[in-house]
Amino acid sequence: MTTELTAKDFTSDQETRWCPGCGDYAVLAAVQKLMPELGVEPHRVVFVSGIGCSGRFAYYMDTYGMHGIHGRAPALATGLAAARDDLSIWVVTGDGDALSIGGNHLIHALRRNVPLKILMFNNQVYGLTKGQASPTSERGMVTKSTPFGAQDAPFNPLALAIGAGATFAARTVDRDRHHMTDVLRAAAHHEGSAFVEIYQNCPVFNDGAFFALTEKDRAVFNRIPLAHGEPIRFGPDGEHGVARNERGELEIVGGERDDLVVHDAHRDDPTLAFALAGLAQSPNEPTPIGVFRSVKRPVGVAEAGAKLAAARANLQPGALAELLHGSDTWTVA
């Protein structure tokens, strides 16, 4: 490449149409800004999205893009990855799209470790259909479809992803460009499926759902930053930490203790990542953010695809005729 790419090279000419103040704008800006440094030309990048507010994301990237159908983006993207191993494929989805109607596709993409970067915008509500409870809505949340409060327990998206065998699972927040960019960069460089949950504010239907983790005065008390190889400690002066109790469960303790859990994202065993995912029951309490898990496992779908492409490229001229003939023929004169 002769000229250096900028965020502008990844910005399409379409007018962005999310509501004013929507967290999606921040994610879009962060992705557009990150892209040039990844060194992949825009025409080798594909964004596949589902239905929901997040689904519009694909239209705003000046790359190849497919705005699919509700919940099916991981399936569409898996097919694309099966046909092509030379693309950087990103899936943009939401909590309803990924965890409700598309739950099956999500877990199987993660199980197969398809080389997809899956960005799940979690705003705990259906925005595009104007405010129904979603599978991540907290118990008791009053919405149009739950006027007496949501009755069902919410999904824990990271626990779900890790349980499905995700080789990369991370969480970030829309209102911290720096943190979000670091997490997205790590996801981009991961070789298999990368699942990133982004806490994203919906100013219209669920405003402030994550303010405990994003607003300056509160974030410092509630964010539990995960850094590989570091003891897990948080609070303005590191006065809190995470340690194992006598039953082996994680709990929040004083930051001065010398038996704090040291974060290890590269452990093959997923139990620490899983325990960290379960540490917070709600984003209104101390909540881990960062890369929970990042391990190596054979990459699904695409590698086999490359082998088959090679098989086709090396096909001998008579191969088709030979196949059509099979092993037992007779001739009628």
Partner 1 sequence: MIVRFAGDSGDGMQLAGSRFTEATAEHGNDFATLPSFPAEIRAPAGTLAGVSAFQIHFAAQDILTPGDEPDVLVAMNPAALRSELPALARSGTVIANEDAFSKRNLQKAGYESNPLEDSSLDNYHLIRIPMTSLTASAVEALEGVSTRDAGRAKNLFALGVVTWLYDRPTQPTEDWLRRKFVNKPGPLEANLAAFRAGWNFGETSELIDVQYKVDPATDVPAGTYRNVNGTTATALGLIAASIRADLPLVLASYPITPASELLHELARHQDMGVRTIQAEDEIAAAGMALGAAFGGALGVTATSGPGMDLKTETIGLAMMLELPLVVIDVQRAGPSTGMPTKTEQSDLLMAIHGRHGESPVPVVAASTPGQCFEAAYEAARIAIHYRTPVILLSDLFLANSSEPWRIPDAAELPPIEPNFAEATDEPFEPYARDARGARPWAIPGTPGLAHRIGGLEKEDVSGDISYDGDNHALMTSLRAAKVAAISAELPLLEVDEDPGAELLILGWGSSRGAIRAAARRVRANARSVAIAHLHHLQPLPANMGEVLERYERVLVPEMNTGQLAQLLRAEFLVPVESYCKLEGKPLFAAELEREIEARL
| Spatial CA neighbour of 38 closest among 80, 64, 1 | 1
DSSP state of 274: H
CB under 8 Å to 299, separation ≥6 — which residues? Answer: 113, 114, 115, 191, 192
Residues 140-179 contacting partner 1, CB under 8 A: none
In the bound state with partner 1, the residue whose beta carbon lies nearer, of 13 and 258, is: 13
The label of the residue with tokens 């086999």 reads 304
3-state SS record for 227-241: CCCCECEECCCCCEE
Neighbours of 251 (CB within 10 A): 12
Considering only the stretches 52-60, 133-141, 180-188, 210-218, report the one whose residues sit in contact with partner 1 under the rule CB under 8 A. Answer: 52-60
Nearer to partner 1, 144 or 325 (CB): 325
Overall size of the chain counted in residues: 333
Which region among 51-59, 167-175, 228-236, 278-286 touches partner 1 (by CB under 8 A)?
A: 51-59
Regarding 77 and contact with partner 1 (CB under 8 A), the answer is yes
Q: Which is nearer to partner 1, 104 or 271 (CB)?
A: 104
Among 26, 30, 58, 164, binds partner 1 (CB under 8 A): 58
Q: How far is the CB of 320 from partner 1 (least distance, A)?
A: 4
Nearest-angstrom CA–CA distance, 319 and 324: 9
Residue 47 CA to residue 119 CA, distance in Å, equals 10
Amino acid at 133: A
116: tokens are 């997809």
Q: Which of 30, 76, 133, 212 binds partner 1 (CB under 8 A)?
A: 76
Using CB under 8 A as the binding rule, the residues of this chain from 10 to 39 that contact partner 1 are 12, 14
If one asks whether residue 83 binds partner 1 (CB under 8 A), the answer comes out as yes
Interface with partner 1, residue 82, by CB under 8 A:
yes
Q: Is 132 helix (H, G, I), strand (E, B) or coil?
A: strand
Q: Binding partner 1 by CB under 8 A: which of 7, 19, 33, 108? A: 108
Q: Is the dihedral of CA 92, 94, 99, 100 positive or negative?
A: negative
Task: Kindly tell me which of 128 and 252 has the beta carbon lying closer to partner 1.
Answer: 128
CA distance 170 to 292: 5
Query: Does 68 help bind partner 1 (rule: CB under 8 A)?
Result: yes
Residue 105 as a binder of partner 1 (CB under 8 A): the answer is yes
| Of the candidate residues 22, 27, 35, 80, the single one contacting partner 1 (CB under 8 A) | 80
Residues that bind partner 1 (CB under 8 A): 12, 14, 41-44, 46, 48-49, 55, 58-59, 61-69, 72, 75-84, 86-87, 104-105, 107-108, 301, 304-305, 307-309, 311-313, 315, 319-321, 323-333
